[in-house]
Amino acid sequence: MALIKTDLSTLKLTAQGKVRDIYATEDPSTLLFVATDRISAYDVVLNNGIPNKGKILTQLSLFWFNKLKDVIPNHLVTANINEMPGEISSYSDQLEGRSMLVRKARVIQLEAIVRGYITGSAWSEYKKSGTVHGISLPEGLVESAKLPQPLFTPSTKAEVGQHDENIHPDVGAKLIGQELYDRVSSVAIKLYEQAAQHAQERGLILADTKFEFGLLTKEGAEEELILIDEVLTPDSSRYWPLEGYEAGRPQPSFDKQYLRDWLTRKGFVKGLERGVDGNGWTMDEDVVDGTRRRYEEAWEKLTK
């Protein structure tokens, strides 16, 4: 059974995202992140979830946090419930395998997207104007083509139920300041390059991914840039099988594209976020199973 909503009655729920429930703890410098089995596509949270998806996201994030820790620090304190404040341990049946105690940081209000290949919304824009996020690209690119170099393409951070907006780098720099923007874009590309190399060694192409960053306050020192939220999961990334890859067409994937395609076939367009009948969108069981299998396969290929 999928865990759609957590019930930690003695803890204060401070925020609820598309996937994560975030709770305050007795330590004011930390937060409890819980990855539910909710799933979203096109910024729409589906009515039903994917069993154990939250555990897969958490375990993949832990893997990448450890692997990339030399590139940038992250917000993880521990994923071991026995090492968390005592008030949390009584909820171990809900939290085991899907929770992280993290350092509280000031979230940078920018989605840090890095693209190594042209697909999705980037391909749609390029076909119309020869640009991606307003950035001019060489002529003659085809769908799923590898870009000359990884491209940092920011977007706004939308509230739940709203759509992120792709923006030009100049707009992103104005939103958070040029100096911070340069730091974020530089480290995001380094993270992507290292992750893409590992993925390729495991038979996968990391087509694109989205990072989130925060600033950690240190007494008497400059705020520290850290990696937060989840990282390089099928929720935030496009993974393709390396075997059989061919530019010029869509690729099979180990991510949410399978769900996006189903939503499109069902008639989803912007404006129908609440469903055709106003009751939201509920996945067919075969879509639940197909999505779960793709997430599990990505996890196994990347970490085993």
Please name every residue paired with 2 in a beta bridge, in sequence order, or none if there are none: none
CA distances, 222 to each of 4, 176, 179, 215, 259 (Å):
39, 16, 13, 9, 42
Residue 159: pLDDT over 70: no
Query: Each residue of 10-21: pLDDT tens digit?
Result: 999 999 999 999
User: What count of other Cβ atoms lies within 10 Å of the Cβ of residue 205?
Assistant: 21
Give per-residue pLDDT as tens, 122-135: 999 999 999 999 99
The one-letter amino acid at 121: S
Residues 295, 253, 237, CA angle at the centre, nearest 5°?
70
Element (H, E) at 234: none
Give CB contacts under 8 A, 24+ apart, made by 159-168: 160/16, 160/17, 160/18, 160/45, 161/43, 161/44, 161/45, 161/273, 162/43, 163/42, 163/43, 163/270, 164/43, 164/111, 166/121, 166/125, 166/133, 167/133, 167/134, 168/133, 168/134, 168/135
Q: What average pLDDT does range 274-298 have in this prediction?
A: 95
Q: What percent of the chain has pLDDT over 70?
A: 98
pLDDT digits (tens, 9 = 90+) for 214-239: 999 887 778 999 999 999 999 999 99
Q: Above 80 in pLDDT, residue 26?
A: yes
Which of 119, 125, 165, 167 is CA-nearest to residue 143?
Answer: 119
Alpha helices (H) in 227-268, listed in sequence order:
257-265
C-alpha distances in angstroms, 93 versus 99, 115, 225, 230?
A: 11, 38, 33, 21
**What's the pLDDT at 161?**
53
> CA torsion, points 73, 74, 75, 78, in degrees to nearest 10?
-100
Q: Using the structure block, give the residue that is written with the tokens 């993974």.
A: 239
Strands (E), the chain: 13-16, 20-24, 30-35, 40-41, 44-45, 76-78, 99-103, 106-107, 111-117, 131-132, 135-136, 146-155, 204-218, 221-228, 237-241
Percent residues over pLDDT 90 in the chain: 90
Of 173-177, 210-214, 236-240, 269-273, the one with minimum mean pLDDT is 269-273
Rounded to an integer, the average pLDDT of 68-84 is 97
Model pLDDT, residue 157:
83
Q: What is the mean pLDDT of the chain?
A: 95
Band (pLDDT 50/70/90 cuts) for residue 6 is: very high
Separation between Cα atoms, residue 152 and residue 134, nearest integer Å:
12
Quick one: pLDDT at residue 219?
75
